[in-house]
Amino acid sequence: MDNSTYADALHAFTIPVFIRTLENLEKIISKAEAHAKRHKVEAATLLNMRLYPDMFTLLQQIQYACFLPVDFGGNFSNSKAPRVGYDETNFAQLKDSIKRTINYLKAIKPDQFRGKETLLLPVFFNPSLGLAANAHAARIALPDFFFHVTAAYCILRHSGVPLSKSDFLGVHGARPLTSAKK
C-alpha cells in the first residue's frame, strides 16, 4: 500500500467515523432533552446522572466525546481547533459543541493525513508519551471516543430515555446483497 492510500485509509476509519457517531449523539441528546421536558425532569438532573459514583456524568461523557476527535483531528488540521468539551452546562451548549466539532472534522481532508501516517502523536492523558498516528487512532482515539459515547447512551437508557440500538448506530446505508450465483 502506498503512503497516499494508507493516509486515505487512516482518514477514512477515523474522521468520518467520528462525524457519523457525533451526528447520532446529537440526535440522542435531542431525544433526551425532549424526554426530560415531557416527564418534567430538570435538565441539570439528567446531565448530572452517572452510571457509578466514580464515573463521569452524562455532561462529562458528552464533553469528552467532543474533545477526543478534536484532539486527534488537530494533528492533521490546517485550522485552529474549536474549544469544546470544557465548559458546557446544558443541552443547547452540548449540541453546539457537537456541531462545532463536526464542522471542524469535516474540514479535515484525507490529503492532510499524507506524510503523517506514522507521526508520533502525544497521548492526551500523558503528553510525555506518544504513539504513531495509526496506533493512536486504533488504541486510544477511537476506543476512548466510543467508550464515552457508549457511556452517555447507557446513562440515558438507565434514566428511562427511550433509545434503541438504531439510535446509537444511526442510518447505516446498507444495500441489499446480490447473489453472484444464479
Going by the DSSP 8-state scheme, the letter that residue 113 receives in this structure is: G
pLDDT at 4 over 80: no
* Structural domain spans, the chain: 3-169
Ordered alpha helix ranges (H), the chain: 3-12, 15-38, 43-47, 58-73, 91-106, 133-136, 142-158, 165-169
d(CA 166, CA 20): 13
Written as one letter, the residue type at 152 is A
Q: Which of 25, 35, 83 is nearest to 59 (CA)?
A: 25
C-alpha cell at 13: 476509519
CATH fold of 3-169: Four Helix Bundle (Hemerythrin (Met), subunit A) (1.20.120)
Does the pLDDT of residue 135 top 70, yes or no?
A: yes
121 within 8 A of 38, measured Cβ to Cβ: no
Taking only the tens place, the pLDDT of each residue in 64-120 is 999 999 999 999 988 899 999 889 999 999 999 999 999 999 999 999 999 888 889
3-state secondary structure of 144: helix
pLDDT digits (tens, 9 = 90+) for 167-181: 999 987 888 988 766
Total residues found in the chain within this entry: 182
